[in-house]
């Protein structure tokens, strides 16, 4: 029998009791493909069951890695095939201009591998990083290894948490969720800092304007009026 479970894990226990590995695969797949569902929670619960001898740890880990990889891969395909058309048609209504899209593409070219690999540990980014990678046309040769590494790392960490926690799962799970919230806040703060920095740089590069909104004329000396002797 598994140890006493905290609220979120206890609520998913009947689903895992009835469907086992299938429940893990489906929820992890969907959770990594745009739609927020408790995929991470059921993975931890399945690992707790494995620690109690009710499920196989290698099978839980394998199912989670494959489902996470496939879910994020599908999100990438959705973004790659339909994301740009959506942005071009509706982006202006959410202030997603072509210039901002270009900056996002540049960011993914420079740091996309790190983002795709680590995004699974942050709620919100776990569901959307594949979609954004596809929409910004991150090359699949870069996306696939990052996706595989992220799936293996994320599934391995949370499987280990559930398996080794044992009777301490309630306290450990609450602490893990608390640190995950802090991580999300930190990521949002860094993003806000980068956006502000880019905006300030953009303002500094803009040429000064006069009160009429026109760019001041640069005097190169050609239009200096001549004096009485014909000299300028």
Q: What is the pLDDT of residue 86?
A: 62
Query: Helix, strand, coil % (nearest 5) of the chain?
Result: 75, 0, 25
Give residue 154's pLDDT. 95
Instruction: Look at residue 222 and tell me if it is in a domain.
Output: no
Give the pLDDT confidence score for residue 214 in this predicted structure.
52
Give the range of the structural domain holding residue 90, as residue numbers without chain letter. Answer: 7-204
- Successive 10-residue mean pLDDT values, the chain, 232 residues: 63 90 96 90 90 92 97 91 66 55 67 84 84 85 93 94 73 62 58 63 61 51 53 54
* Residue 221 falls inside a structural domain: no
Token digits of residue 27: 């929820």
Question: 187 exposed, middle or buried (CB, 10 Å; 0-12, 13-18, 19+)?
Answer: middle
Cβ density class 195-214: b for 16+ within 10 Å, e for less: eeeeeeeeeeeeeeeeeeee
CB atoms within 10 A of CB 151: 25
**Backbone phi, psi, residue 221, to 5°:** 95, -10
Domain count, the chain: 1
Domain assignment of residue 210, yes or no: no
What's the gap between Cα 142 and its chain centre? 16
- 211 within domain boundaries: no
Q: In the prediction, which pLDDT does 94 show?
A: 45
Whether residue 223 lies inside any domain: the answer is no
Q: Evaluate whether residue 229 is within a structural domain.
A: no
Residues 13, 8: Cα–Cα separation, whole Å = 9
Nearest CA among 116, 165, 177 for reference residue 144: 116
Distance CA 216, CA 22 (A): 68
Q: Is 94 part of a structural domain of the chain?
A: yes
pTM to 2 decimals? 0.67
Q: Is 216 inside any structural domain?
A: no
Q: Give the pLDDT of residue 182.
A: 60
């Amino acid at each position: 029998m598994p140890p006493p479970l905290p609220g979120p894990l206890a609520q998913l226990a009947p689903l895992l009791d009835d469907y086992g590995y299938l429940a893990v695969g489906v929820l992890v797949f969907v959770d990594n493909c745009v739609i927020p569902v408790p995929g991470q929670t059921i993975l931890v619960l399945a690992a707790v069951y494995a620690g109690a001898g009710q499920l196989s740890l290698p099978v839980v880990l394998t199912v989670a890695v494959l489902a996470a990889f496939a879910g994020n891969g599908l999100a990438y395909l959705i973004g790659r095939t339909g994301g740009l058309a959506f942005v071009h048609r509706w982006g202006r209504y959410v202030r997603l201009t072509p210039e901002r899209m270009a900056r996002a593409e540049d960011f993914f070219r420079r740091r996309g591998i790190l983002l795709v690999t680590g995004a699974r540990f942050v709620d919100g980014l776990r569901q959307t990083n594949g979609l954004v990678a596809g929409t910004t046309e991150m090359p699949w040769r870069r996306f696939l290894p990052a996706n595989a590494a992220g799936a293996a790392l994320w599934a391995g960490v949370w499987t280990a948490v559930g398996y080794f926690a044992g009777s301490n799962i309630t306290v450990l799970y609450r602490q893990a969720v608390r640190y995950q919230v802090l991580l999300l806040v930190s990521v949002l703060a860094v993003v806000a800092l980068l956006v502000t920095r880019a905006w300030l740089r953009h303002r500094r590069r803009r040429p000064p304007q006069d009160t009429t909104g026109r760019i001041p004329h640069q005097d190169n000396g050609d239009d200096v009026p001549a004096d009485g002797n014909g000299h300028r």
